[in-house]
Amino acid sequence: MMNDANVTNDEVQKLYARLDNEAEASGYHLNPDVEHTRDLVRGLLINEKRYGYWACPCRLASGDKEDDLDIICPCDYRDQDVEEYGTCYCGLYVSEDVLDGKQSVEPIPERRPPPEERKRVEQVPPAISSLSLPVWRCRVCGYLCAREGPPGVCPICKAKKDRFERFI
């Protein structure tokens, strides 16, 4: 059995506050259910110690970053799930309706394709274009930018560089 990583309440509180600030600054919302959200933040910190990145606490990570990229929080499926169900898969991020108490958070179906299908989704080769610069797309929030390479961190949702794909 793997040792469960030790995460202090102080670490949880700090990350909780940071994620809350970042979410609110970029138009996202954390789940107002404090206990639920705190448990998830603790899960993120445990996974950071275990795997080196914030694998979704409610999904089984492989431990291979390349395979887990789409489920590193915020995951590739968050925006679609918040749009459709008012919450992401684990319930860390929610819609404004949930925040305002107009909708409640219920468990939602898994949008991530099963392993067999994931392997088939290879990157589509970029279309030939006459643009002066390539366009990069954040796979988490859809942010687009035209520059030589993707930014280190998405200015909108804070996803890291490796979450960008070449769009045009």
Residue 119, φ and ψ in degrees, nearest 5: -65, -30
Total chain residues near other proteins (CB under 8 A) = 21
Query: Which of 109, 152 has the CB closer to other proteins?
Result: 109
86 binds other proteins (CB under 8 A): no
Q: Is 28 left (phi over 0), alpha (psi -120 to 50) or beta?
A: beta
- Residue pointed to by tokens 């919302």: 29
Report in angstroms how near the CB of residue 158 gets to other proteins at its nearest. 21
Beta bridge partners of 78: none
Q: Which of 12, 15, 23, 40 binds other proteins (CB under 8 A)?
A: 40
Residue 150, preceding bond cis, omega within 30 degrees? no
84 makes contact with other proteins (CB under 8 A): no
**Which DSSP state fits 126?**
P
Instruction: Among 19, 61, 140, 145, indicate the residue that binds other proteins (CB under 8 A).
Output: 61
Residues that bind other proteins in the complex, under the rule CB under 8 A: 1-2, 4, 36, 39-40, 42-43, 46-47, 57-61, 90-91, 107, 109-110, 114
